[in-house]
């Protein structure tokens, strides 16, 4: 942020003690008057999309490392970064090698049986591939942190745009059941900003909702 100073005052500050100078700077330093809080979510939306794309590459790297170890987890679990997939992957990195112990981490909603998961976990556990898997997970986590920061920034921008206070029905799954609401409810923030649920289409989600709002 740009700062404006009075030159004469700066010269006099050089002759003062450090403590007194700091106290005086706090008084005379003023924020640049041209700074305006953002009310446009497009920049944050593009940044988030970019991070999600980068993160997806490391999901592919996870899968490649598992495949190289003959761990065919993708044959029984559709989403390796879902709850079951991540529990198994992180247990492997923590040193667990017993296929039955790993299969017991299976979430109740997984269609594959415990026996099927055990068969998919007969890996070779080579050190170089475990190292690749560890790095892929670390990079995935790093991008997950950055995406969460983007969500927080989007929340601040959308709060400034909020002008609709009508109640919004909870999101429904394809079977008509209410879905779990995230810590930051981006869907609700989008609704409060534009008065329309931009994520209500079957093929839409929070990301497409942000893009739709940004293009209005």
| Three state DSSP letters for 15-41 | CCCHHHHHHHHHHHCEECCCCCCCCCC
Q: Which residue has the higher pLDDT, 82 or 194?
A: 82
pLDDT at 154: 86
> Is residue 4 classed as helix, strand or coil in its secondary structure?
strand
pLDDT at 30: 46
Q: Which residues pair with 39 in a beta bridge?
A: none
- Using 50, 70 and 90 to split pLDDT, how confident is the model at 156? confident
Q: What is the distance between the alpha carbons of residues 120 and 76, in angstroms, rounded to a whole number?
A: 7
pTM for the model stands at 0.63
pLDDT tens digit string along 170-212?
Answer: 555 555 444 344 445 555 655 555 554 545 555 445 455 555 4
Percent of the chain scored above 70 by pLDDT? 56
pLDDT at 104: 94
| Close Cβ partners of 186 (under 8 Å, ≥ 6 residues apart) | 151, 154, 155, 158, 206, 209, 210
CA atoms within 13 A on the CB side of 51: 20
pLDDT at 41: 73
Q: What number is the average pLDDT over the span 149-178?
A: 66
pLDDT tens digit string along 86-116?
Answer: 999 999 999 999 999 999 999 988 999 999 9
pLDDT tens digit string along 2-21?
Answer: 444 445 544 554 554 444 44
pLDDT at 191: 54
The pLDDT of residue 67 is above 90: yes
Contact between 197 and 187 (Cβ < 8 Å) = yes
Q: What number is the average pLDDT over the span 129-154?
A: 95
Cα distances (angstroms) measured from residue 48 to each of 4, 44, 54, 65: 34, 6, 10, 26
Q: What is the distance between the alpha carbons of residues 122 and 98, in angstroms, rounded to a whole number?
A: 9
pLDDT at 45: 85
Q: In residues, how long is the chain?
A: 216
Q: Which residue has the higher pLDDT, 52 or 14?
A: 52
Q: Which residue has the higher pLDDT, 158 or 191?
A: 158
| Close Cβ partners of 75 (under 8 Å, ≥ 6 residues apart) | 120
Q: Which residue has the higher pLDDT, 41 or 62?
A: 62
Structure tokens, 66: 């598992």
Structure tokens, 92: 């492997």
pLDDT at 102: 95
């Amino acid at each position: 942020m740009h700062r404006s100073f009075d030159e004469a005052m700066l010269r006099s500050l050089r002759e003062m003690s450090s403590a007194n100078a700091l106290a005086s700077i706090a008084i005379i330093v003023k924020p640049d008057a041209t700074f305006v809080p953002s009310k446009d979510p497009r920049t944050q939306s593009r940044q988030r999309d970019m991070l999600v794309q980068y993160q997806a590459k490391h999901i592919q790297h996870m899968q490649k490392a598992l495949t190289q170890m003959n761990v065919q987890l993708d044959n029984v679990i559709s989403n390796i970064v879902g709850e079951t997939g991540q529990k198994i992957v992180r247990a492997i990195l923590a040193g667990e090698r017993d296929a039955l112990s790993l299969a017991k981490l299976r979430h109740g909603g997984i269609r594959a049986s415990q026996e099927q998961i055990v068969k998919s976990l007969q890996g070779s556990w080579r050190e170089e591939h475990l190292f690749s898997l560890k790095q892929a997970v670390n990079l995935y986590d790093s991008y997950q942190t950055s995406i969460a920061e983007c969500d927080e920034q989007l929340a601040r921008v959308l709060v400034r745009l909020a002008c609709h206070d009508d109640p919004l029905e909870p999101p429904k799954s394809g079977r008509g059941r209410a879905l779990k609401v995230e810590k930051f409810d981006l869907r609700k923030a989008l609704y409060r900003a534009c008065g329309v649920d931009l994520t209500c289409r079957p093929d839409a989600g929070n990301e497409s909702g942000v893009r739709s709002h940004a293009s209005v």
